[in-house]
Amino acid sequence: MKKKKKNENSSKIFEYHDHGACFGDAITQIEDYFIQKKLQLTPLRRKVFEILIEDHKPLGAYDILDKLGEAGFSSSPPIAYRVLDFLIEHGFVHKVQGLNAFIACSNPKHSHFPTFVICRKCEKVAEVSEEKSGLNLPSPRITNFKIEKTTIELTGICSTCENAEIR
């Protein structure tokens, strides 16, 4: 398999990309990670991840449950939430607070604070790297407090929706 621009942690969903390769890469990454960490990639964990990587769309918990049901998994909400929490903890899934939805990480190998770009119209979400977003936020100085997690969500309009609005 050809190595593609690995650092191109780009806004995949807003651009055309070779999704077959992307999907395969993502599955290989999670498989390798689970082996390395001696964790079990149970069929349910794998399926939840596959559902989320499938079209890079953010999905609500109930959409995920529906898809699990369609795929023949009988999964109760608490079990699905446990799987999601687990995948979040290991960096393969992020929660998009603004949409109350879950999305597969586009670059799970690196530990990072995700930045999301959300189109308010079509609700497409892209995860962008810190360099790409150009945000370069100063670290907040809050005394007696250690920041462990930051999520930045930028809401706006994607070029496709914007062009449709102008016309």
Nearer to Zn ion, 41 or 161 (CB): 161
Tell me which residues in 28-87 interact with Zn ion (CB under 5 A): none
Binding positions for Zn ion, 117-156, rule CB under 5 A? 119, 121-122
For residue 14 the two structure tokens come to 């807003």
**Using the rule CB under 5 A, is 88 a contact of Zn ion?**
no
Question: Nearest CA to 61 among 105, 103, 115?
Answer: 103
Among the listed ranges 34-42, 99-107, 131-139, 140-148, the one in contact with Zn ion (CB under 5 A) is 99-107
Cβ nearer to Zn ion, comparing 23 with 34 = 23
- Closest separation between CB of residue 80 and Zn ion, Å? 20
d(CA 162, CA 160): 5
Helix 43-53 vs helix 77-89: crossing angle, to nearest 10: 70
Q: Among 95, 91, 84, 109, which residue's Cα sits nearest to residue 7?
A: 109
CB of 74 to Zn ion, least distance (A): 28
Angle at 8 between CA 50 and CA 126, to 5 degrees: 55
Residue 22 binds to Zn ion (criterion: CB under 5 A): yes
Q: How far is the CB of 5 from Zn ion (least distance, A)?
A: 14
Minimum CB separation from Zn ion for residue 37, in Å? 17
* Distance separating alpha carbons of residues 157 and 36, to the nearest angstrom: 40
Partners of residue 65 on adjacent β-strands? none
Contact with Zn ion (CB under 5 A): which of 51, 118, 128, 158? 158
Q: Which residues bind Zn ion (CB under 5 A)?
A: 19, 22, 105, 114, 119, 121-122, 158, 161
